[in-house]
């Protein structure tokens, strides 16, 4: 890799670590590249689709002229694997906030789960979590939520192309899902728990694909830094 190649444009596949924000991951790469290649202070770099800090997996980072590809990449279908924990809900629909209600799970069977999955295939209406970065009245929803404000959130159309249950061991239900841009897997977990006549929240999430890009070809920020150093030596 050279400074010219970075400015001309690169697509870097990063396996985002748990607890890191997408912003932190991009900043780490920006720091590594600037230090190694003496790049301009404001060289272009950005990611194609945010991953929550509690999620891991594929984060596509574009540099230079390839930042123009970000919108196109973001529009592609995404694949995730993860775990929905049933029998409880949280305000954030994931583990960022503590459990606020509990529900029965004794009635949940493998057959009920498979029947319920069918309700979520194809185009569905979905409300984003109140703890999300979407703006309402110029303020991000999570800021409203943390201030204790009641906010009316409109539902939006999204498409679930594939939804597969890969393991069932209550209270945990492991899944694989392929979905369109704008799908909130946290909302899917919450709605799925509700459709089971129980509650649910997202306890594990990993993004495995965006279009033809796969996390199998991605590396951690630390491995990226190591590879840059090795290339220079």
> Which residues have a catalytic role annotated?
52
Compute CA distances 179 → 9, 88, 100, 170, 172, whole Å: 28, 24, 28, 25, 21
- Answer whether 61's CB lies under 8 Å from 221's CB: no
Residue-wise DSSP of 133-193: S-EETTEEHHHHHHTT-------EEEEEEEEEEEEEETTEEEEEEEE-TT--HHHHHHHHH
CA-CA distance, 214 to 60, in Å (whole number)?
10
What are the two backbone dihedrals, phi and then psi, of residue 2, each rounded to the nearest 5 degrees? -130, 165
CA-CA distance, 164 to 117, in Å (whole number)?
8
Structure tokens at 137: 């009245």
């Amino acid at each position: 890799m050279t400074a010219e190649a970075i400015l001309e444009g690169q697509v870097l596949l990063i396996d985002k670590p748990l607890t890191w924000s997408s912003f932190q991951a991009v900043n780490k790469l920006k720091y590594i590249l600037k230090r190694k290649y003496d790049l301009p202070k404001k060289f272009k770099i950005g990611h194609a689709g945010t991953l929550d800090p509690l999620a891991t997996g594929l984060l596509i980072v574009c540099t230079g002229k390839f930042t123009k590809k970000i919108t196109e990449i973001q529009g592609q279908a995404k694949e995730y694997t993860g775990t929905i924990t049933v029998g409880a809900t949280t305000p954030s629909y994931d583990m960022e906030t503590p459990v606020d209600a509990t529900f029965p799970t004794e009635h949940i069977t493998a057959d009920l789960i498979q029947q319920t999955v069918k309700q979520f295939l194809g185009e569905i209406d979905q409300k984003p979590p109140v703890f999300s970065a979407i703006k309402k009245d110029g303020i991000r929803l999570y800021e409203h939520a943390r201030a204790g404000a009641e906010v009316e959130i409109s539902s939006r159309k999204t498409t679930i192309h594939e939804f597969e249950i890969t393991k069932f061991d209550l209270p945990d239900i492991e899944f694989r899902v392929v979905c369109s841009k704008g799908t909130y897997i946290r909302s899917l977990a919450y709605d799925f728990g509700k459709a089971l006549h129980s509650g649910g929240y997202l306890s594990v999430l990993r993004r495995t694909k965006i279009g033809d890009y796969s996390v199998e070809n991605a590396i951690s920020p630390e491995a990226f830094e190591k590879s840059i150093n090795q290339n220079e030596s």
